[in-house]
Structure 1
Amino acid sequence: MAHVEPYEPRYEPGPDELRILYRKEAQAKRRTEARPGLWMAVAIYLLFSATDLLLIPDVAAYTIVARFAVGITALLTLEEQLRRGAATEWLDVTCAGAIIFGYIGWLCPAFMGANRESVAYYMVFGTIFMMSANLFFTLSFKLSIITSTIILCILYIVNYLVPATLTYKLVFGTFYISCFTFTSYVNWKLNGERYNVFLNALEAKIQHNEATERGKALLRLSRTDPLTGLENRRAIDEKLRDCWSDWQRLGNRFAAILIDVDFFKKFNDCYGHQEGDRCLIQVANALSDLVRQYDGSIGRYGGEEFIVLARMDKKDQVADLAEAIRRTVESLALPHELRRDGISIVTASVGAAFTRAQAGAKLEKIIHEADRALYLAKAGGRNCARLFDPTDPQSSDESENIAALLKIAIGQNLVSLVYQPIQDVASGKVEAVEALMRLKMLDGTLVPPSLFIPVAERTGAILELGRWAIRTVCAELLADDHIRVVSVNVSPIQLKTPGFATSVASILGETGVAGSRLAFEITEGLEMEMHSDVLRCINDLKVLGIKIWLDDFGTGFAGLSWLRLIDFDTVKIDRSFLHDCGTSRGMAMLQDIIALVRNRGHKILVEGVETDEQMALMRDFGIDKVQGYRVGRPAPAASFQAKRAIQKRPFTVLKSA
């Protein structure tokens, strides 16, 4: 898309074209030099008045008047021609005429002097006029020869009329011929050199232009994305700095918008990388046409991500542009059959940020805010646009405080686990518990999991927290047999991380806990993608004996695909289906889901059991396990440790006396 043609044949003008170019350049040069040349010639011409006073004092007054008359007339004529824009040829004629009439205007009164010998010798200075055509002007060779010839003829006439010996006349006649020949030769050589200089200058100009064009092309190439033809990250970062500088200095507000093509990896897997490239090009072209209407800039920020910068005054305009971007991609209707969210075309998630007054704000801040808005758009189901809202806990600066808190949470004992019991419906016994993470701030204030878990996933802190949770579960409950099975929630990010299964195996080895005592709950959500790394990790975990549970079944889009690909030990049906059983439609939906899971051969766990009526319903449906406030609320490990200690305490028999 960035066209660079370093091997394009260079243009070489022919001889006729070169002569035309030379004449044009020579005319332009003569036009430029005519005024300073004539002014200098007139100034020197007038300065020679001093020699008139010395050599021909009796007629000096007349020669001086003649000099001034000719000089001023020549200057006025030239200035008027320049003012009227006369052709260069007429300027040349004026300069040549000034030389000829300057000589005649000085010669006539000088020839009337009483001292004929002085006048005769003084006539030698006439050769200066012969050379003036080359000293002060760059007249053409033809006009210079004509001018010098006229001066030579006048010199010969004067030489003939001056009363002198034959020897004098022969000597000075020969001198005049020599001067004419010399000046004509010099003029011819100068014109040849001027032409050579022109050729060299033209060659240098062509080379310079070629180098400049190559440089511009290479610069465009270095600032252009080779696939889409949009500006690349380097170029867009420069524009971002310009926009930020204008915002800081002049208060010109602008928006930064990040666009991410949804499920693009799956698109490549389904249609191939060539089709993937075509998809990105079509998206780029459509967005470029749209953004041009807003006088904005668009660039490819990497992979399937694009960035838009647009100068805007109001937040509503930013929201409208973000939504227009989303609609534009959707309206392309590019097929995407492997999506698992019920949509079969290519869509985009859009995150936008708008300049706002912030103390100590830095350039990277607005991009960071747009990125957070994009994260929320993807977490909110994709194919949507989100504008960064500083008052939203999920995107505000509060999440930055939480991100900083998560870095020190383990070291400062700010994170802990509580456990919610899971009951076997048939036996009525608590056979497992679910580990739930809790986070408190430095002042002891609790942070809701709905707030800190997304931040942990976005920042990658979930990896360290996840390992800590597994190790803590093994140490608190499993190592001393306080509970038989503990389930731990596992993030998709953990499953995608290389070496996760190995780290789990290491923890089991350190604590001496069998893998069959652990269950990992995988949430059925949009962030879980069924690529080979995730499936391989799940298989490795099952080899360790770890049970794999599907959490919140029915709330996402991938449930049936996951049930087909993975042999889950237990499927947890989301609490919302149980709570909707108050209507016949809700009851029928719950029964259908139970039948679907049971036909796949998985054990069923229903969440959210809170009343005796709901518990009785679970018995009627033949549910395997239940969880909810009816069974027990989340409690610290100490409460399960205490119950286990009571169960192990031996009975004491008291005999009566």
Structure 2
Amino acid sequence: MAHVEPYEPRPGPGPNELRVLYREESQAKRRKEARPGLWMAVAIYVLFSATDLLLIPDVALYTITARFAVGLTALLTLEGQLRRGVATQWLDMTCAAAIIFGYIGWLWPTSLGAEREAVAYYMVFGTIFMMSANLFFTFSFKTSIITSTIILCILYVVNYFVPASLTYKLVFGTFYVSCFTFTSYVNWKLNEERYNVFLNALEAKIQHNEATERGKALLRLSRTDPLTGLENRRAIDEKLRDCWSDWQKLGIRFAAILIDVDFFKKFNDCYGHQEGDRCLIHVANALSDLVRQHNGSIGRYGGEEFIVLARLNDKDQVADLAQAICRTVEDLALTHELRRDGTSVVTVSVGAAFTRTQAGGKLEKIIHEADRALYLAKAGGRNCARLFDPTDPQSSDESENIAALLKIAVERDLVSLVYQPIQDLGSGRFDAVEALMRLKMLDGILVPPSLFIPVAERTGAILELGRWAIRTVCTDMLAHDHVRLVSVNVSPIQLKTPGFATSVAGILGETGVAGSRLAFEITEGRELEMDSDILRCISDLKLLGIRIWLDDFGTGFAGLSWLRLIDFDTVKIDRSFLHDCGTPKGMAMLQDIIALVRNRGHKILVEGVETDEQMALMREFGIDKVQGYHVGRPVPAASFQTKRPVQKRPFTVLKSA
């Protein structure tokens, strides 16, 4: 698309084509002028009846009758032809015949009168009819010459019988020929000039059309994405304003659907940018065909993101279209082998929002809602569609309040940490704790981590909160030797951020804490992409002595790949596998996972130990560490005493903060 010229002018018509175009245009012009021309000629012709009364009163009645008869016949014939839509040449023949018979109908009764000299005078008026044929009517040159020649012949015939001297006849004969020659020459020049005017007008029209087409092409180019040929952001924003205006004024509902190609950066890294461009073109073409069936518009919103606007009637139609978008791209079967989520083809994540009545609604609101739905689709595993639901805590307006709250959380002491103990089953000691973040609203109501952590990751607030958490752990727990080791949850977003390892090193230096006393837990979720920046950051953190734990192992698709690439100090097996041990299948699954991790040489920590039976099972399986309510509930830092003696289970009697 980028190599296509915005406008390529077509070659002009050849001489033969020009002649055809001229004839067509001249016929249209003659057809348009035939009626007013003949009506005016008949009116003047009839008005000359006054000269009949003065010059030939004895036959004036006949000449006037002839005038009316010829004029009325010509007009009726022409009107009938126009009503029937006959060809233009027949209209020309009618007008030419009206000129000829008008002269005959005028001259013949005159020749019957007693005033013989009047006949000679009347013959001079024949030149007027020549001028009519050649100048006043826009006949073709051929038709004009034939008509003028017939009138000239009539003049010579009558001139022969007029009783006059030879000199008179020679003079007037020469006059008739001169008039014929002159009017024919003028007619020829007029036709030539008309043709030149036509050529100039045609050239001006072509230039105007080319300028118009060029302008339209440039406008299309300014509104078109050069890679995919779809509408660009500027064009789609205009359509969005139109849809929003129709929704506000006419109540015509519409949906905004955002589409993001999954793991597209990895696709580019694996196959190259040219293949990445081809991938986007294939996706764009497939989606364009699909959206066209729903009378919608699709545009490229930037990078690997597309947007669809469609006027739909209800949420079910929106959901169906969003799901169809996912299926359409997946059905393309474009190979994408570098992703590690169990899928080997290109897929898309889709977030959709539908117009709804809301106070103070603005145009940008529906795009913002679609973006939040897209975030949930990506967080939910990609290759899926999510429709914005205002009642969903993670996508509702409440999350916007939480986003605003997170901006002031550190400053207003709305965020805090609690610590859950971790027991080493081999020694029985509680020498490690996990730091868990808590957030409260201005009125003191606690916000669940499952709600505010995704919002923090989506808004980027997780970066400031993460630095605050690491600093707080170092100052409150490690600097005063309350515990030997504290694990802190770290988001993949933090690991991708340039300078994260440097900022951690700075905190360790300020607080005087050794890196070996910190452990960073990385969640094995779908957001943990196989990113070179993450691998580099983890390597830098390990150089600081920080231990790297893999959290929630078994809940995602990338765990095995990460076990192969990174030497984790500890792997935390998700609580769901322990709780499923009530069935033989669940028990076998847990044993298989433990064997897999143990074969890789990692220490194993099992979460969610809540009963004596589960604790006994962990001892039986030879698990290194355990964590759960049976070991101890999360408590604030104040519950720990400096250099407190180790007890068997000192945390089980403490209540949750």
Which residue does the alignment assign to 1:449? 449
Aligned-residue sequence identity (percent) comes to: 87
Structure 1 position 161, deviation (Å): 5.8
- Contact 1:40–1:136 (8 Å) recurs in 2: no
Paired residues for 1:617-628 under 5 Å: 617-628=617-628
Runs of at least 5 residues in structure 1 that lack an aligned partner in the other structure: 649-657
Give the letter aligned to residue 478 of structure 2: L
1:452-495 Cα deviation digits (max 9, x unpaired): 11112112222222223223333333344444433221111111
* Residues 49-58 or 77-86, more deviating: 49-58
| Residue identity opposite 1:541 in structure 2 | L
Instruction: Give matches, 1:93-112, under 5 Å.
Output: 93-109=93-109
SS in 2 for 1:525: coil
| C-alpha separation in 2, matches of 1:61 and 1:280 | 90
The match for 1:652 is none
Distance 1:143 1:333, change over 3 A: closer
Q: Which residue of 1 aligns with 2:416?
A: 416
SS in 1 for 2:307: strand
C-alpha displacement at 1:207, in angstroms? Answer: 4.0
**2:542 & 2:553 partners in 1: Cα distance?**
20
Matched, 1:462 2:462: yes
Using the alignment, how far apart are the partners of 1:128 and 1:3 within structure 2? 65
Aligned length: 646
Q: 1:64 to 1:246 in 2, by over 3 A?
A: farther
Letter in 1 for 2:535: L
Work out whether residues 519 and 547 of structure 1, in 8 Å CA contact, stay in contact via their aligned partners in 2.
yes
Aligned-pair CA distance for 1:184? 0.9
| Counterpart Cα distance in 1 of 2:115 and 2:125 | 16
Deviation at 1:519, TM superposition (A): 2.2
Measure how far apart 1:602 and its partner are: 2.7
Task: Give distance in 1, aligned partners of 2:495 and 2:162.
Answer: 116
User: CA offsets, 1:19-61, max 9 Å, x none?
Assistant: 3333233222222221222223233434445666676677666
**Residue correspondence of structure 1 range 565-644 to structure 2 within 5 A:** 565-640=565-640, 643-644=641-642
| 111-120 or 139-148, which deviates more | 111-120
The offset of 1:366, in angstroms, is 2.6
**C-alpha distance in structure 2 between counterparts of 1:77 and 1:491, whole Å:** 93
Task: Give the corresponding residue for 1:40.
Answer: 40
Q: Which amino acid aligns with 1:302?
A: G
- Paired position in structure 2 for 1:338: 338
Which residue matches 1:654? Answer: none
C-alpha displacement at 1:419, in angstroms?
A: 2.2
For 2:614, the aligned partner's letter is Q
C-alpha displacement at 1:78, in angstroms? 0.7
Separation (CA, whole Å) in 1 of partners of 2:437 and 2:45:
103
What is residue 495 of structure 2 aligned with on the other side? 495
How far apart, CA to CA, are the structure 2 residues paired with 1:443 and 1:389?
26
Query: Is 1:291–1:308's contact at 8 Å kept on the other side of the alignment?
Result: yes
Give 1:631's aligned amino acid.
Answer: V
1:100-151: CA deviations, max 9, x gaps? 2233333445566777667755654442222122443210111111222233
Q: Structure 1 154/561 Cα, relative in aligned 2: closer, same or farther at 3 Å?
A: same
Distance (Å, rounded) in 1 between the aligned partners of 2:506 and 2:56:
119
Residues 43, 413 of structure 1: alpha-carbon distance in 2 compared, 3 angstrom cutoff: farther
SS at match of 2:431: strand
Corresponding residue for residue 241 of structure 1? 241
Per the alignment, residue 649 of structure 2 pairs with none
| Of 120-129 and 88-97, the range deviating more from structure 2 | 120-129
Alignment of 1:76-87 (within 5 A): 76-87=76-87
The residue aligned with 1:381 is 381
8 A Cα contact 1:420 1:635, kept in partner: yes
Q: Quick one: structure 1 residues 343 and 424, their matched pair in 2 at CA, closer, same or farther if it must change by over 3 Å?
A: same
The amino acid of 2:597's aligned partner reads V
| Matching residue's letter, 1:420 | Q
- 2:6·2:217 contact (CA, 8 Å) conserved in 1? no
Q: Per-residue deviation at 1:528?
A: 0.8
Given that residues 135 and 183 in structure 2 are in contact (C-alpha distance below 8 angstroms), is that contact kept between their aligned partners in structure 1? no
Deviation of residue 354 (structure 1)?
Answer: 2.4
For 1:402 and 1:6, locate their aligned partners in 2 and report how far apart those are by CA, in whole Å.
Answer: 48
Q: Distance in 2 between matches of 1:294 and 1:47?
A: 70
Q: Decide whether the 8 Å contact of 2:7 with 2:217 is kept in 1.
A: no
Change (3 A) 1:645 1:516: closer
TM-superposed CA distance for 1:212, in Å, is 4.5
**Does the alignment pair 1:550 with 2:550?**
yes
Cα pair 2:482 2:644 within 8 Å, conserved: no
**Aligned position for 2:652:** none
SS of corresponding position for 2:306:
strand
Q: Could you state the TM-score of these two structures normalised by the residue count of structure 1?
A: 0.88
Q: Alignment partner of 1:644: what SS?
A: coil
SS of the equivalent of 1:430 reads: coil
Q: In structure 1, what residue type is equivalent to 2:596?
A: L
Task: Tell me, in whole angstroms, the C-alpha distance in 2 between the residues paired with 1:465 and 1:311.
Answer: 41
1:43-101 CA-partner distances (Å, limit 9, x unpaired): 34344456666766776665554443332322211110111121211111111122222
User: Deviations for 1:292-348, whole angstroms, at most 9, x for unmatched residues?
Assistant: 443433333333333333332232222223223323333333333333222333333
Whole-angstrom CA distance in 1 between matches of 2:247 and 2:2: 31
Q: CA RMSD in A?
A: 3.3
Cα separation, 1, equivalents of 2:540 and 2:289: 48
Equivalent residues of 2:58, 2:114 under 8 A apart? yes
Distance in structure 2 (CA, Å) of the matches to 1:339 and 1:359? 42
- Cα distance, 1:54–1:532 mapped onto 2, change above 3 Å: farther
The C-alpha deviation readout for 1:149-185, integer Å capped at 9, x for no partner, is 2333444455566666766655554443333222111
Call closer, same or farther: CA 1:94–1:516 in 2, change over 3 Å: same
1:201 pairs with 2:201:
yes
With 89-98 and 615-624 compared, the bigger mean Cα shift is at 615-624
Match of 2:189 in 1: 189
> What corresponds to 2:363 in structure 1?
363
Q: How does 1:195-344 map to 2 (within 5 A)?
A: 195-344=195-344
| Structure-2 separation of matches of 1:441 and 1:629 | 26
Q: Using a 3 Å threshold, how does the CA distance of structure 1 residues 68 and 408 change in structure 2: closer, same or farther?
A: farther
SS in 1 for 2:522: strand
Does the CA-based 8 Å contact 2:374-2:386 persist in structure 1? Answer: yes
* SS of the residue 1:439 aligns to: strand
Asked whether the 8 Å contact 2:520–2:548 carries over to 1, the reply is yes
Say if 1:75 and 1:372 are closer, same or farther in 2 by CA, change over 3 A. same
The aligned counterpart of 1:390 is: 390
Question: Which amino acid is the alignment partner of residue 415 of structure 1?
Answer: V
CA distance in 2, matches of 1:399, 1:71: 89
Look up the equivalent residue of 1:145 and give its one-letter code: I
For 2:110 and 2:411, locate their aligned partners in 1 and report how far apart those are by CA, in whole Å: 111
Residue identity in the other structure for 1:459: T
Structure 2 CA distance for partners of 1:415 and 1:168, relative to 1, 3 Å: farther
Residues in 2 aligned to 1:459 and 1:442: alpha-carbon distance in whole angstroms? 20
